[in-house]
């Protein structure tokens, strides 16, 4: 079964933690062992796993990506003014595959699942599918 997670972002660039709704989806699926596939349905936001205990980590990621891939609209050929967002999404990647064990996604103590927004604020959709 495929379900969709709706995420509303509030800034042009931010990392939004989605661990809780992803875990809720897996729990509702009833699958005890398998894999969870997550896929962003957008070309300017990505998915990643990173530390969720300290919110400064997410802020540092956004800051560093801005430094590595600046918005500088005059430097890109794509005319929409969001080329940096496409590059950042490609660097992070649009999808994740997570292991399900004992009915929950397997994450380390400090790990969380994030939507990385690079061209917001927007309404975003993540496709979720469990395979056992």
Spatial contact of 98 and 38, defined as CB atoms under 8 Å apart: yes
CA 84 – CA 91 distance, rounded (Å): 11
Rounded to an integer, the average pLDDT of 93-114 is 98
Domain definitions of the chain by residue range? 2-131
Rounded to an integer, the average pLDDT of 88-109 is 98
Kindly report, residue by residue over 30-84, the tens digit of the pLDDT: 999 999 999 999 999 999 999 999 999 999 999 999 999 999 867 888 878 899 9
Q: Give the class (CATH, top level) of 2-131.
A: mainly beta
User: What contacts 60, CB < 8 A, 6 or more positions away?
Assistant: none
Q: Which helix (H) or strand (E) holds 69?
A: none
Q: Give the residue among 129, 123, 131, 99 at the shortest CA–CA distance from 42.
A: 123
CA 94 – CA 107 distance, rounded (Å): 19
What is the pTM (predicted TM-score) of this model?
0.95
């Amino acid at each position: 079964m495929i379900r969709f997670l709706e995420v509303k972002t509030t800034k042009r660039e931010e990392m939004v933690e989605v661990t809780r709704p992803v875990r809720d989806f897996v729990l509702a699926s009833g699958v005890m062992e398998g894999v969870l596939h997550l896929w962003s349905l957008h070309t300017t936001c990505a998915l990643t796993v990173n530390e969720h205990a300290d919110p400064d980590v997410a802020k540092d990621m956004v800051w560093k990506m801005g430094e590595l891939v600046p918005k500088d609209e005059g430097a890109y050929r794509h005319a929409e003014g969001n080329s940096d967002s496409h590059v950042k999404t490609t660097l992070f990647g649009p999808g994740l595959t997570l292991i399900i064990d004992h009915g929950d996604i397997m994450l380390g103590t400090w790990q969380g699942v994030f939507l990385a927004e690079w061209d917001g604020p927007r309404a975003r959709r993540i496709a979720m599918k469990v395979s056992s």
